[in-house]
Amino acid sequence: MERIHAAQEALRAAEEELKTAVAEALKRGGSIAETAKAAGLSTNTVQRWGRERGWPTKAQREEWDRPRREREELYEKLGLTEAVRLLSEQGLDVKPRREP
């Protein structure tokens, strides 16, 4: 029985190490898909383990939020904010089109 308990404890420790390694990979900028593939896990599990261990970091959140802030600043600068609001209220799609 002692050997079984020792093996169970080793398994728990290995899982904790894997969770930590997954979170660290995400914090260093690794993609969710690449991390999931490398660890043999689902992307949902990778995201959950990352969130449980402080991912995304404050710096990552700020970096990811930067394009939205820049777009809002540009809209404001060009006077488009009010136009977009008015068109949206009328039910018109005002999202910019992507190049094909």
Q: How far apart are the first and last CA of the chain?
A: 64
Those residues whose C-beta lies under 8 Å from the C-beta of residue 72, and which sit 6 or more positions away, are 81
pLDDT of residue 81: 76
Given a contact cutoff of 8 angstroms between Cβ atoms, the answer to whether 55 and 74 are in contact is: no
* Residue owning tokens 């540009």: 74
The residue to which tokens 């904010």 are assigned? 81
17 or 80, which is more confident: 17
The SS3 assignment for 67 reads helix
Q: Is 39 exposed, middle or buried (0-12, 13-18, 19+ CB in 10 A)?
A: middle
The model's pTM: 0.69
Residue 82 has pLDDT above 90, yes or no: no
Give me the pLDDT at residue 99, please.
Answer: 55
What does the domain layout of the chain look like in residue ranges? 1-56, 57-100
Helix axes 43-52, 32-39, angle to 10 degrees: 100
